[in-house]
Amino acid sequence: MRIAMIGTGYVGLVSGVCFSDFGHDVICVDKAEAKIQMLQAGKVPIYEPGLDVLMAKNVAAGRLSFTTDLANAVKGADAVFIAVGTPTRRGDGHADLTYVMAAAEEIAHAMDGYTVVVTKSTVPVGTNRKVQEVVAAANPKADFDVASNPEFLREGAAIDDFMRPDRVVVGVENDRAAEVMAEIYRPLYLRDFPILTTDLESAEMIKYAANAFLATKITFINEIAGLCERVGGDVKEVARGIGLDGRIGNKFLHAGPGYGGSCFPKDTAALARIGQEHAFPMQITETVMRVNDEVKKRMIAKIREACDDSFNGKTVAVLGVTFKPNTDDMRDAPSLTIVPALIGGGAKVRVVDPQGRSEGEALLPGVEWVEDPYAAAKDADAVVLLTEWNEFRALNLMQMAAEMKSPRMVDLRNIYSRDKVKKSGFETYVGVGR
């Protein structure tokens, strides 16, 4: 199959590379010339484990290329995927579809045969119908169908998620489009991965419902963690106890500083807005959004208490600022709320993150970036574990404590046990929900 992938952001690039590894001919398109030049030079503009190797393999095989020429990429394509950004729109919280509709119009003018226009971007319910209208209006003679194919890629594990998915969701209106999509995903059919073929609106809703549910699960355990701190329970034991129930499961039951990233904040806001527009408020989702903001503020109070109720004049080492490990993504990361509060309170903040500096330097002005957690903690008044990178899971705690001015640890990911930290020389250990 010949595929054009419009957009080389996180979703578009990972999807394009993986489709080429299925054996399809893929052309990835982006308006940003600098990004395309970077990709043509074999450099990956995002951090995703294994992506550089897989990209190089398929470029060398002649199945994968990059261009700014949308029209040439679309000509002769069996399917054109729209994988452009849908950021939260200022003012109303809705997903901004400007880039999606602009791409749809450009695709319409370039098509020269039957084409399936596939929306890969996360879009509100009803968007694919609008894409259909835009394409038909721009090119009344176009022979095409639309399809919805939402992504479910976890940053840091995206290649494995694409190659071994829990499910693939395809929304179509007729058998002709379904056959094209089935051929594109044929390698997964052959290995018996679940392929759910449904209508357009259901496919669009599945994406939002899934992310809202996961965000709810995270927020629920964070609320339970707050209550555990008041009544004397240990949220890790509580999470394990409820997670063993097959109806609940143990995933996404890790208490911490709140969710962030490119999906959950944006998608919960969009779902809430969809509910408001259809006079059916998403009350649970709206509460989840509010509570998640409160969780981040609670973490600030936790750090302040560990610092004798004042940040002024303190030196704080922050380990990890990306929203999760194995990514360089800083979007809506808890660090963007917590670190400025430390600086605003008068603290000197040193930051170490294996991949966060490229984005973090612009987003976290006023911090000192260091490459080593021990250098960050030297002569510090407190160390805060904010992102659970593997590099921070096996620290020499005795060495760290010995070099700190005041050996205090605030472990916002519950990586360590209180006993181990205390035996290593720390005078204070503060976890979440423990």
Mean pLDDT on 156-172? 96
Could you tell me which residues are annotated as the binding site for NAD(+)? 30, 35, 86, 122, 155, 266, 331
Q: What is the pLDDT of residue 163?
A: 97
CA 183 vs CA 19, 186, 188, 189: distances in Å? 11, 5, 10, 9
28 has catalytic annotation: no
Q: What pLDDT does 94 receive?
A: 75
**Can you give the pLDDT at residue 87?**
83
- Rounded-to-integer distance, Cα 115 and Cα 211, Å: 30
- State yes or no: pLDDT of 176 exceeds 80: yes
**Nearest in space to 25 (alpha carbons), one of 83, 104, 80, 85:** 80
Residue 45 makes CB contacts below 8 A (sequence gap 6+) with 8, 13, 35, 38, 39
With beta carbons less than 8 A apart as the criterion, state whether 12 and 48 touch: no
Q: 2-198: which CATH topology?
A: Rossmann fold (3.40.50)
Helix (H, G, I), strand (E, B) or coil at 316: strand
Q: Which long-range contacts (CB under 8 A, 24 or more apart) does 222-227 make?
A: 222/255, 222/256, 222/258, 222/291, 222/292, 222/295, 222/432, 222/433, 223/291, 224/255, 224/433, 225/255, 225/432, 225/433, 226/295, 226/298, 226/433
Q: Where are the domains of the chain?
A: 2-198, 199-434
**Token pair of 258 as six digits:** 């709140």
- Asked, colleague to colleague, whether 2-198 and 199-434 share their fold, the answer is yes
The pLDDT value recorded for residue 88 is 78
Mean pLDDT of the chain: 96
**Structure letter (DSSP) for residue 413:** T
Q: Cα(352)–Cα(370) distance, rounded to whole angstroms? A: 5
pLDDT tens digits, one per residue of 57-99: 999 999 999 999 999 999 999 999 999 988 877 767 678 899 9
Identify the DSSP state of 95: B
pLDDT above 90 (res 135)? yes
CA quadruple 199, 203, 208, 210: dihedral positive or negative? positive
What pTM was estimated for this model as a whole? 0.91
Q: List, as residue ranges, the binding site.
A: 30, 35, 86, 122, 152-155, 207, 252-256, 260, 266, 324, 331
The contacts of residue 326 (CB under 8 Å, 6+ apart) are 47, 49, 155, 156, 157, 355, 389
Inter-axis angle of helices 283-306 and 264-277, to 10 degrees? Answer: 140
What are 12-41's pLDDT values in tens digits? 999 999 999 999 999 999 999 999 999 999
Q: Which CATH superfamily groups domain 199-434? A: NAD(P)-binding Rossmann-like Domain (3.40.50.720)
pLDDT in the model for residue 89: 75
Mean per-residue pLDDT for 105-112? 96
Q: Which of 28, 228, 263, 307 is catalytic?
A: 263
Among the listed residues 391, 333, 288, 326, the one whose alpha carbon sits nearest the alpha carbon of residue 154: 326
Exposure of 32 by Cβ count < 10 A (0-12 exposed, 13-18 middle, 19+ buried)? Answer: middle
Report the pLDDT averaged over residues 231-240. 97
Sign of CA dihedral 253, 259, 264, 270: positive
Beta-strand (E) ranges in 14-143? 25-29, 64-67, 79-82, 115-119
Q: Helix 98-110 vs helix 127-138: angle between axes, to the nearest 10 degrees?
A: 40
Q: Reduced to 3 states, what is the DSSP secondary structure of residue 244?
A: coil
Q: In this structure, are residues 58 and 42 in contact, taking their beta carbons and an 8 Å threshold?
A: no
Rounded Cα–Cα distance for residues 327 and 129 (Å): 34
Question: How far apart, in Å, are the Cα atoms of 2 and each of 27, 73, 81, 163?
Answer: 8, 9, 11, 19
Are 49 and 81 a contacting pair, CB within 8 Å? no
Residue corresponding to tokens 């957009």: 7
Q: What is the pLDDT of residues 363-404, one digit of tens each?
A: 999 999 999 999 999 999 999 999 999 999 999 999 999 999
* Mean pLDDT across 145-167: 95
What is the average pLDDT across 235-255?
97
The Cβ-side half-sphere exposure at 428, using a 13 Å CA radius, reads: 19
120-140: average pLDDT: 95
Average pLDDT for 123-132: 95
How far is Cα 295 from Cα 256, in angstroms, rounded to an integer?
8
Q: Which residues are annotated as a binding site for substrate?
A: 152-155, 207, 252-256, 260, 324
